[in-house]
Structure 1
């Protein structure tokens, strides 16, 4: 604890958190990887070997290039580093090619690109209200938020085991939000536009960004705060864009849980109600990712990492809001505890039943339905919270 106290004065604790999670990512390099590994290897080969005019038409592999142009150019740049690791990975006709050097390059490229995510987390932490400051470093909102973001269980297993490049994309999104916090609207809008050109799945968030920017930046007479208040009468400047974005993200949860959970971490250290919604959303959502890692060696890894992250999330936020009402009611507690028996049934009981061969989809069905209930509940709870706060804010204003 003394070491943590010393680190507080110098700011070294953030670097220590970032370095620690980077080392963990390196330990995950030999783990299982999904077909997305081959998808991105093929995109490296396409962009490196073919002229631009053929990038979106090459169909030797079933994993054709289907991301927006910025991501294609991103793969092109990576390919010029990849050639120094293993030239064969850049051959379009080497389908399902995977050498040890290819594996190292792909894994390290994801880890390296997370530098943007780390920077964005640091910028977001600068925007956190410092009024609720505990005596210990571990009780400070900035420290808790940094852990929740940097050690995000979902990103760890999706990017660094399953294999994708969500980290730096989330970094762009968080950096965009940080710029909105800082009232640097043009930068925030620009970063979000860049993000759209990297991955089209963020498109459904665009209406929320558009509405917020129109009211907080465009339709103002040099009074961005009053405009923001008219759109979000009971929310602080920081909470306004986040709540708007989260609403859009929760609607698209099936494909984009990670985006909504990462975004909601920013609100979780602000109010007890938001912390409760965050914990339900992230715990349920993280468990819904379990079917992505279906191989035996990764079973203890995913269970251990999720337990550690969930225990820390709940305990740290309970400590932060210990003077307020409990974060969960009895129904929410019962629901979250139900994830344990569900995991036992799916991973340890079902494989020994006669249904395994005839109905192999049952564990996935149970997981999907159970988690859908929790996510839908979190979505309604978020909107009820916004509506109640809005009504209270209007009453106070009157």
Structure 2
């Protein structure tokens, strides 16, 4: 317990030191939400539009802001004035930064619970390595407490993701313990705090149905015979009760709430492209537009609007425009294989079932990230943080893909911090976190340290090291070029496109690992066969 307190103390001090770093428009967003929820009655919250940053999170988060606002009133009441747009006093800064740090303790507590539940029977994979539960527990807590992604997104850029992921890991902890209804409860609560976690809802739905409402060891038609209506009713009662408590007070204006939660007019991609399939699609359209313009096939003013840097509907110049429904269908199709695998391949060991579930969580979130509508680059942490737990619980292959994904994903967050003061900070954060992660997992699996990154292929090493060259060009070389003013969007496009290649390859490899080459597959299948023979 002493080392946990030391980790928390050091991590908290680091985050306090970042108090005066850059804050994005999200800082003003949350200040405005404090003002809305404090100054107006609940029935007006989702109608208020004095600021362009209207309330667009589910009701539980609105009540969370309401609770914070009563503390904020003791610090600086001016921040709670709806008409004080872009208000940012020192006291406001201290309060909002402090609220992120304090509420993140929910994540640290939840992850500590998860760390205590790591499998005790993970044997050494080499004579030099050490994969004991204790070493993995320490590694997991360090990776969470000093999460590069959370520091960039929450403690510099400004959001409350640490608190929200704390609720998610509370759900994970209860699920690992076998407390299915409590796990479902916490996940339902999470959805009513931030609806982006719908990304992983299919994995939860299939796993809870398969392991709680049916006998997870049954196959084929035996599955139907094992169905328990009472358990389904219990599960539905817990989830629906949470939603009723959340949305009940707003039922009279439910259409207005839903229109705020799902604004489909924001365009295919965010102003800063997330490194996903659509970043490659946009890049291909831009290159084709330039080529077609060169040969006189299209006029210059018909080129793509995707590089305007604005949040708007994207009009492609050459490739077909993508409607929202198409991204939903594509995302659902991308999720189906891992969901089908979780349903049709039972695991005798509950530990294997949990690992299979966590892989599905990662794959569902990555599929949504790769093909979803108007995906923010920040959404990559919805894949990275659950993968952190799987990396310390699962196989060497899980650790390998986690290391690659976290390096690419964290680097893709760099455009969020575009001021010169944060350039060194974000580079140091990403490098130190990656160096520690690679070294720690290398130690666990008995790999010698050196310039070659452990657990990553030769091609992976080349790709990851080339990120250093890409960043050097984008940050230090490109601004000195004569064309920098004319093509100011180019560094962002290069980062997004290059990272999109990495996330795409990682997504495909994780899928292959989960469906075809899973280390535990043969063990699980053979155990099921033995179980059937005995019964």
Q: Normalised by the size of structure 1, how large is the TM-score? A: 0.92
Deviation at 1:247, TM superposition (A): 1.0
User: Which residue is equivalent to 1:267?
Assistant: 390
Specify the alignment match of 1:7 in structure 2. Answer: none
Q: Structure 2: how far apart are the matches of 1:326 and 1:265?
A: 17
Quick one: distance in 2 between partners of 1:163 and 1:326? Answer: 33
Equivalent position to 1:281, from 394, 397, 405: 405
One of 437, 442, 464 as aligned partner of 1:336: 464
1:394 to partner: Cα distance? 7.0
Give the Å deviation of 1:70: 0.3
Q: CA deviation at 1:240?
A: 2.0
CA 1:369–1:136: 2 relative to 1, 3 Å: closer
Q: Where does residue 28 of structure 1 map in the other structure? A: 18
The 3-state SS of whatever aligns with 1:33 is coil
For residues 232 and 327 of structure 1, the distance between their equivalents in structure 2, rounded to whole angstroms, comes to: 29
CA distance 1:101–1:51, change in 2 (3 Å): same
Per the TM alignment, residue 207 of structure 1 is displaced from its structure 2 partner at its CA by: 1.3
Which whole-Å CA distance do the structure 2 matches of 1:302 and 1:138 have between them? 31
Secondary structure, aligned partner of 2:468? helix
| Local SS of the residue matching 1:198 | coil
Structure 1 residue aligned with 2:353: 237
User: Residues 92 and 335 (structure 1 numbering): CA distance in 2 closer, same or farther, change over 3 Å?
Assistant: same
**1:186 aligned residue:** 181
RMSD over equivalenced CA pairs, Å: 2.4
Measure the CA separation in 1 of the matches of 2:346 and 2:358.
Answer: 11
Whole-angstrom distance in 2 between the partners of 1:137 and 1:217: 30
Query: Does the 8 Å contact 1:181/1:237 carry over to 2?
Result: no
How many angstroms does 1:138 deviate by?
11
Measured after TM superposition, the shift of residue 391 of structure 1 is 5.8
CA distance in 2, matches of 1:114, 1:77: 16
User: What is the distance in 2 between the residues matched to 1:215 and 1:136?
Assistant: 31
Distance 1:137 1:303, change over 3 A: farther
Deviations 1:164-208 (A, max 9, x none): 000010111111111111101000000000000000111121111
User: Where does 1:91-106 land on structure 2 (aligned, <5 Å)?
Assistant: 91-106=81-96
2:55 is equivalent to residue 65 of structure 1: yes
Q: Give the Cα–Cα distance (whole angstroms) in 2 for the partners of residues 374 and 30 of structure 1.
A: 33
What pairs up with 1:166-315 in 2 under 5 angstroms? Answer: 166-220=161-215, 231-233=345-347, 236-253=352-369, 254-255=375-376, 256-269=379-392, 270-315=394-439
State the match for 1:351 in structure 2.
479
What is the distance in 1 between the residues matched to 2:432 and 2:454?
Answer: 21
Alpha carbons of structure 1 residues 303 and 189: separation in structure 2 relative to 1, 3 Å: same
Residues 179 and 185 of structure 1 are in contact (CA less than 8 Å); yes or no, is this contact kept in structure 2?
A: yes
TM-superposed CA distance for 1:137, in Å, is 9.7
CA distance in 2, matches of 1:394, 1:142: 25
Distance 1:19 1:137 in 2: 25
d(CA) in 2 for partners of 1:144, 1:18? 13
Distance, in Å, in 2 between the alignment partners of 1:221 and 1:125 is 25
C-alpha separation in 1, matches of 2:216 and 2:384: 34
Task: Give the structure 2 partner of residue 380 of structure 1.
Answer: 508
Structure 1 runs not aligned, ≥5 long: 1-10
How far apart are 1:139 and its partner, in Å? 7.7
Give the TM-score normalised by the residue count of structure 2. 0.69
Are residue 39 (structure 1) and residue 26 (structure 2) matched?
Answer: no
Contact 2:216 2:346 (8 Å CA) reproduced: no
Q: CA deviation at 1:21?
A: 0.4
With CA pairs under 8 Å and 6+ residues apart, which has the higher RCO, 1 or 2? 2
Which residue number in structure 2 is paired with residue 3 of structure 1?
A: none
Quick one: distance in 2 between partners of 1:291 and 1:328?
26
Name the structure 2 match of 1:368.
496
Change (3 A) 1:129 1:138: closer
1:321 maps to 2:445:
yes
Matches within 5 A, 1:40-55: 40-55=30-45
- Quote the Cα distance in structure 1 between the aligned partners of 2:412 and 2:345: 34
SS at match of 1:237: helix
Q: Any runs of at least 4 consecutive aligned residues in structure 1 with deviations exceeding 6 A, and if so which?
A: 133-139, 226-229
**Shift of residue 252, structure 1, vs aligned partner:** 2.3
Show structure 2 runs of 5+ residues with no match: 227-341, 370-374, 530-535
1:181–1:238 contact (8 Å) kept in structure 2:
yes
CA gap 1:177/1:366 in 2 versus in 1, 3 angstroms: same
Q: Residue 104 of structure 2: SS of its match in structure 1?
A: helix
Distance 2:131 2:497 in 1: 40
Q: How many residues align?
A: 386
Q: Describe the superposition over 1:337-367 as per-residue Cα deviations: whole angstroms up to 9, x where unpaired.
A: 1110000000000000012110000110010
1:14 and 2:4 equivalent?
A: yes
